[in-house]
């Protein structure tokens, strides 16, 4: 868990007359996330954890789901606080079995089985290097196949930020699944109780120091359901300011307008965290032709159930696009 013992924080909080550094856990008694949907279908086999070394020699965990004759490769990142063993095995297994897609679900640094303090990263640039390492590994393993990059929820925001940084390791296309691009995108759904709660003292301290201090302080709490945390050990419930920065686009509309790779967007119409209709309109307004190839609502799907139902849409697009590449 990111450290809360950052230098000078207590002094500033005292000077500002703030009497509490604790999160308001009374509002986190329940969660807006419906975890029961994960039990609505049989669990897919969960692939064994494997590792590669990051640029700083830390271990980065991933799971691989391999068909006999893969047509394409998808590297997919989970949403904040989750990991590759929660819901993502269903998506990956179905893509591999039914669409011959080799799927690699990675654990972000500080999440799941990857190294690092829980919910924290050394720096945003280090996280980009982690993704570089995974993409380069896949290019080495699959020299004749197209590599695609995707993410779910705030994992989709991570992907958007990653490709906005140039130069980055090349991929052929992008998959955004119920993307959560933060407050500036104005797509968030208001929930009661809230899902993500800010530690006002930590954020105020960071702003007062121009972000130079307390990057690794715990600045946000994630309100995942207690049964989800019990059934899937390893859920992260606190994020550092550095991690949230990496998963929050500064200018989401402009960043989407600048995408120059084929990409698709699938959003659950009943996602508890983002408004499906507004998300579709956001991409319709900001996605550019010919790059935005699909922008669809998955009727009735929630933040987690979309992981169980999106494989046909994703698989059909990956197969179609990879076939086009093979013909050119």
Residue 68 lies in a domain: yes
DSSP codes joined into one string, 168-216: ----SEEEEES----GGGT-BPP-SS-SEEE-HHHHHHHHHTTTSS-TT
215 pLDDT band (50/70/90 cuts)? confident
Find out whether 240 and 217 touch, Cβ atoms under 8 Å: yes
HSE, side-chain direction, 13 A CA sphere, residue 255: 20
* 86 in a structural domain: yes
Q: How far apart are the C-alpha atoms of 114 and 104, rounded to whole Å?
A: 14
User: What pTM was estimated for this model as a whole?
Assistant: 0.90
Return the percentage of the chain with pLDDT > 70, whole number. Answer: 87
Rounded-to-integer distance, Cα 88 and Cα 72, Å = 18
Asked whether residue 20 carries a pLDDT value surpassing 90, the answer given is: no
Residues in the chain: 328
> Is residue 8 in a domain?
no
Number of structural domains found in the chain: 1
Task: For residue 95, give every residue at least 6 positions away whose Cβ sits within 8 Å of its Cβ, in sequence order, or none.
Answer: 65, 74, 101, 103, 311, 314, 315, 318
| Mean pLDDT across 171-193 | 96
Quick one: pLDDT band at residue 30, thresholds 50, 70, 90? Answer: confident
CATH of the domain at 160: 3.40.50.1820
Residue 210 in this model has a pLDDT that exceeds 80: no
Please report whether residue 31 resides in a domain.
Answer: no
Q: Is 221 inside a domain boundary?
A: no
Mean predicted confidence (pLDDT) in 243-248: 96
pLDDT number for residue 217: 85
The residue segments making up the domain with residue 279 are: 36-190+246-326
Pull the structure tokens for residue 193.
């109780």
Greatest Cα-to-Cα distance within the chain, rounded to the nearest angstrom:
66
Q: Is residue 142 part of a domain?
A: yes
User: Mean pLDDT across the stretch 193-199?
Assistant: 91
In a domain, 277, yes or no: yes
Give the pLDDT of residue 219.
83
Exposed e or buried b for every residue in 159-198, given b needs 16+ CB within 10 A?
bbbbbbeeeebebbbbbbbbbbbbeebebbbeeeeebbbe
Residue 318 lies in a domain: yes
């Amino acid at each position: 868990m990111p450290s809360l013992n950052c230098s000078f924080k207590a002094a500033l909080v005292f000077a500002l007359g703030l009497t509490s550094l604790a999160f308001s856990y009374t509002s986190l008694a329940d969660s807006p996330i419906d975890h029961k949907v994960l039990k609505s279908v049989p669990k897919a086999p969960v692939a064994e954890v494997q590792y590669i070394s990051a640029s700083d020699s830390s271990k980065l965990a991933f799971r691989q789901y391999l068909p006999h004759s893969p047509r394409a490769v998808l590297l997919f990142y989970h949403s904040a606080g989750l990991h590759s063993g929660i819901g993502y095995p269903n998506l990956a297994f179905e893509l591999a079995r039914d669409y011959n897609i080799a799927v690699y679900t990675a654990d972000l640094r500080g999440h799941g089985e990857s190294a690092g303090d829980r919910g924290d990263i050394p720096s945003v640039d280090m996280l980009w290097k982690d993704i570089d390492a995974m993409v380069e590994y896949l290019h080495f393993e699959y020299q004749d196949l197209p590599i695609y990059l995707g993410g779910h929820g705030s994992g989709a925001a991570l992907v958007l930020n990653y490709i906005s940084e140039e130069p980055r390791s090349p991929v052929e296309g992008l998959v955004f699944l119920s993307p959560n691009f933060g407050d500036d995108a104005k797509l968030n759904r208001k929930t009661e109780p809230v899902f993500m709660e800010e530690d006002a003292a930590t954020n105020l301290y960071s702003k007062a120091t121009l972000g130079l201090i307390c990057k690794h302080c715990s600045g946000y709490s994630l309100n995942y359901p207690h049964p989800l945390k019990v059934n899937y050990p390893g859920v992260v419930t606190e994020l550092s300011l550095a991690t949230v920065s990496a998963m929050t686009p500064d200018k989401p509309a402009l960043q989407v307008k600048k995408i120059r790779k084929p990409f698709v967007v699938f959003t659950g119409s009943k996602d508890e965290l983002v408004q499906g209709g507004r998300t579709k309109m956001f991409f319709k307004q900001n996605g550019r032709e010919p790059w935005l190839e699909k922008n669809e609502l998955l009727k009735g799907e929630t933040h987690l159930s979309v992981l169980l139902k999106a494989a046909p849409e994703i698989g059909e697009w990956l197969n179609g696009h990879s076939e086009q590449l093979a013909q050119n």
